[in-house]
Structure formats: C-alpha cells, structure tokens
Amino acid sequence: MKGSKVSLRVRTFCLVLWLAVTAWPGMVFCVEAPVISGSRQMGCGAQQVLSIMNYQTGNTYSWSIADDNGNKGSLLFFEGEQVVYAAPNDNPGCQNNPTIEVTVNGEAAGTFSIAIDCGPSSEKAGTIRVGKCKGCDCYKNPCRMGCRIKDVYCDGSTGPVHCNGWGLFRCSEGCNAEDGACCAHAGFNDLRQNRNLKDCCPEFALPGYQFKPEVSGYGHDPLCL
C-alpha cells in the first residue's frame, strides 16, 4: 500500500510538470535571454546571416529594421532563428546604418546595430586607444606620457598597436597616474571629418559602441630618449 502511494505521487508530479512545460515553456526553467549574433561591420551591397543565440523552440521570433525609410537595406526573411540581411548600396554620411530589432512572442528582445562602409576601405578613419604608454621615468622633468593605439580604417580593420606621444607632462601632473592623461578617454578618436571621409563607416563609430581596452601594462614610447 505504501509503495502504491509513492508511485501515485510520482505519477502526479510528472503529470503536473508535463502540463507546466506544455503550457508555459519559458517559465518553468531559467533560460538565457536571446542575443542577436552577427557581424557589426559590412560593406555596401553585402549580405550576412543574423541568428539568435539561446533560441527556444516554440517561441515566435520576428525581425525588423528600426526606423526603416527604405534606404537601410532589407531582410530576406522576417521570422525564425535566422534571417538574411542585405546591406544598402550607398550610405551617405553613414545615415543608412541599420539597427535590427527582434521580438519574441511580440515582446521586444534586443537590437543589433551594423556599420555599412561605402568609403575607401584602406583610408584611415581614426584611432582607438588600447592601453598605456610611458617611456620616460619621472626623474626627468618633464617626462613624456602617451597611449598605445591602433589606426582604424573605413572597413573596420585595424593596424598594429603602437605608441603615440600626446604631449609632455610634469611628474606632478600625472606621469605616475594609473591610466595616463590621454588614456582616461579610451575610445574611438574620429578623424573622418578632417579627412573628408563622408561614406567611411567603421563599426567603432557606431553610437554606444562598447569599447574595451586590449592591452595591459605600459609599452615603450620610441619618442622618449
């Protein structure tokens, strides 16, 4: 009799669990939020596949282009785990950079911005700061401080890391500072306007681009004797 009661409880528990999974598949188990996966850098007229990470069978994933004015490219599909995005053939002033939106069962689930470069790919668009550079000791007054940087080109590619002197600072003005005078402003140093690069659109220039320093420690400044 005792064994039959345990068996009944097990069967009842399994039935309740099955009903819960069937009725609320996204509420029974903890699942990670969906994330749009793809490249944030494209050339004019190119195509790429965008996909959903943490995809859940049974949910409806809908795709769209935010603030679409007909000039930001197109989606070849509008629902599913994957879609194909086709970039526009021109991007004057980078105004046609798209932001892709995804909803899950009608609820907003994420966005994904893409830089569409139509400029000369090998032209320098700016620099990114990737670390610190201190080549002089503080027994010299003044001493040179600088940053380790990479050149950024229109197509989003980058050059090798090198040191760049950003001026002379006395020891009391930050020569021993943790990040140096210029490295406190880590990010994209935009040079496109000065170089008249109107259709040059590297991903580093996207609004809200999440920049992370790549290099720790100090490099050697060749300008420091």
| Inter-residue contact 135 to 224 (CB < 8 Å) | yes
Per-residue pLDDT, 210: 74
Per-residue tokens: 49: 């596949």
Lowest mean pLDDT among 13-22, 56-65, 125-134, 165-174: 165-174
3-state helix, strand, coil in the chain (%, to 5): 15, 35, 50
CA dist., res. 48 & res. 142, Å (int): 52
Per-residue pLDDT, 138: 41
Residue with tokens 């470069």: 117
Per-residue pLDDT, 212: 61
Per-residue pLDDT, 83: 96
| Inter-residue contact 130 to 161 (CB < 8 Å) | yes
Mean pLDDT over each residue of the chain, to the nearest integer:
75
Per-residue pLDDT, 54: 87
Residues 135-148 have pLDDT tens digits of 544 444 444 555 67
Q: Which domains does the chain have, with CATH numbers?
A: 35-117 (2.60.40.10), 124-219 (no CATH)
Q: Which residues contact 142 (CB under 8 A, 6 or more apart)?
A: 168, 169, 170, 171, 175
CA dist., res. 115 & res. 171, Å (int): 41
CA dist., res. 194 & res. 177, Å (int): 31
Closest residue by Cα to residue 85 from 106, 71, 66, 100: 100
The CB density around residue 224, as the number of other CB atoms within 10 Å, is: 17
Q: Is the pLDDT of residue 79 over 70?
A: yes
Q: Average pLDDT, stretch 20-40?
A: 68
Per-residue pLDDT, 186: 57
Per-residue tokens: 56: 């859940």
| Inter-residue contact 135 to 157 (CB < 8 Å) | no
C-alpha dist (Å) from residue 74 to 67, 106, 124, 155, 176:
12, 21, 29, 20, 51
Per-residue pLDDT, 193: 83
